[in-house]
Structure 1
Amino acid sequence: MAGRNIGVAVDFSACSKNALRCAAANLAASGDRLILIHVKSSYQYEQGVVQLWEHDGSPLIPLVEFSDPRVSKIYGLAPGREMLEILTRAANQKGVQVFAKVLWGDPGKKLTEAVQTIPLQWLVVGNRGLNRVKRFLMGSVSTYAVNHTTCPVTVVRENKLPSAATTNY
């Protein structure tokens, strides 16, 4: 099915890079849109941007702008060379359109809202593998997303290969 919006939750950590690799290699196909969703829970240093897009998030930021350090700085993003290479490869080799979207607020809630507002047909999230106590105390964005979204969710564990993902239908 071409033309899907596939969301990938990114916080620029190793586990979100694994989630991105999985989405780019295994899910994205020609004509799809790969949308990186970065949720910032902190409002520091970004008051101007936050005031403009606090409720609905930033506009979709095309890869060419997302790759520009000046644009990334406006939104407080730090994609890094490796992530940009993964995205550029997906765009050039698979014919995937790549965008980024920045949201502000609680990561789990904002991801589930993004499924409806963008809308997304698939969501990919990383999982750091927190033990039960840490997950209870800190919460888990991936667990929240699996339990509250209306689209399929693929959870990619940090220390596993992308093919070791679990999917909720």
Structure 2
Amino acid sequence: MEGAKEECKIVVAVDESRESMYALSWCLRNLVSHSSKNTLVLLYVKPPPTVSSFDAAGYMFSSDVVSALEKYGSDLVNSVMQRTEAIIRKFGTNINVERITGTGDAKDVICSIVGKLGADTLVMGSHGYGFFKRALLGSVSDYCAKHVKCPVVIVKHPEDI
């Protein structure tokens, strides 16, 4: 193929869900070429901190509470990344893996990082929300599909089909 890139950057949005882990497995099985140079970027987005030193009423939280919440967030990131590493090992690939953790509204952070990286593809799991829940909450994958500049693959878990 003339003009085809040898190197491909694939971003997989991961979280605690089985859907995102399935999307990662699907990506490794179907998108990652073991013969070319690929970079797989595992992107985890932490929600913005819900507690600061002061709450909405102006009460001060102890630094122990704030530290415990920050540690919980870090433990969650580590847990998700360990699960992704186990999946990648199962596939025995020699792919270059980068890990990025963002903080904020998932849809905005994902779109921003995909753009900054110049990603070739974004892979996301679908949580399989019904019409009403999607209408109320919005869908991160729908939003990203409309706003990123690269192709987006939304992978449904087989149990949600």
TM-score normalised over the length of structure 1: 0.70
Structure 2 segments unaligned to the other structure (5+ residues): 54-72
Structure 1: runs of 5+ lacking an equivalent = 48-71, 165-169
2:27 is aligned to: 23
CA offset digits 1:53-98 (Å, max 9, x no partner): xxxxxxxxxxxxxxxxxxx9478431276532212244xx332111
CA distance in 1, matches of 2:13, 2:104: 14
Q: Within the alignment, does 1:2 sit opposite 2:13 as a pair? A: no
Give aligned pairs, total.
137
Q: Judging changes above 3 Å, is the alpha-carbon distance between structure 1 residues 95 and 38 closer, same or farther for their aligned structure 2 residues? A: same
Residue 40 of structure 2, aligned match among 26, 34, 57:
34
What is the Cα deviation at residue 159 of structure 1? Answer: 3.2
SS in 1 for 2:7: coil
Is residue 9–residue 38 contact of structure 1 (8 Å, CA) maintained in 2? yes
1:100-115 matches, cutoff 5 A = 100-115=99-114
Q: Which amino acid is the alignment partner of residue 43 of structure 1?
A: P
Partners of 1:17 and 1:24 in 2: CA distance: 11
Asked whether 1:142 is paired with 2:146, we answer no
Q: Percent of counterpart pairs with the same letter?
A: 27
RMSD: 2.8
Hey, which bits of structure 1, 4+ residues long, moved more than 6 A?
A: none
> Aligned partners of 1:46, 1:88: CA distance in 2, in Å?
38
Query: Are the aligned partners of 1:87 and 1:98 in contact in 2 as well (CA < 8 Å)?
Result: no
Mark the structure with the bigger radius of gyration: 2
Kindly indicate whether residue 28 of structure 2 is the aligned counterpart of residue 12 of structure 1.
no
- What is the CA deviation profile of residues 8-39 of structure 1, one whole-angstrom value per residue up to 9, with x for unaligned ones? 00012100001100111111123201111011
Greater CA drift, 100-109 or 76-85: 76-85
Determine the structure 2 residue equivalent to 1:59: none
Tell me how far 1:42 sits from its aligned partner.
3.0
Following TM superposition, by how much is the alpha carbon of 1:109 offset from its aligned partner in structure 2, in angstroms?
1.2
Q: Does 1:153 align with 2:138?
A: no
Q: Helix, strand or coil: the match of 1:79?
A: helix
Tell me, in whole angstroms, the C-alpha distance in 1 between the residues paired with 2:124 and 2:41: 12
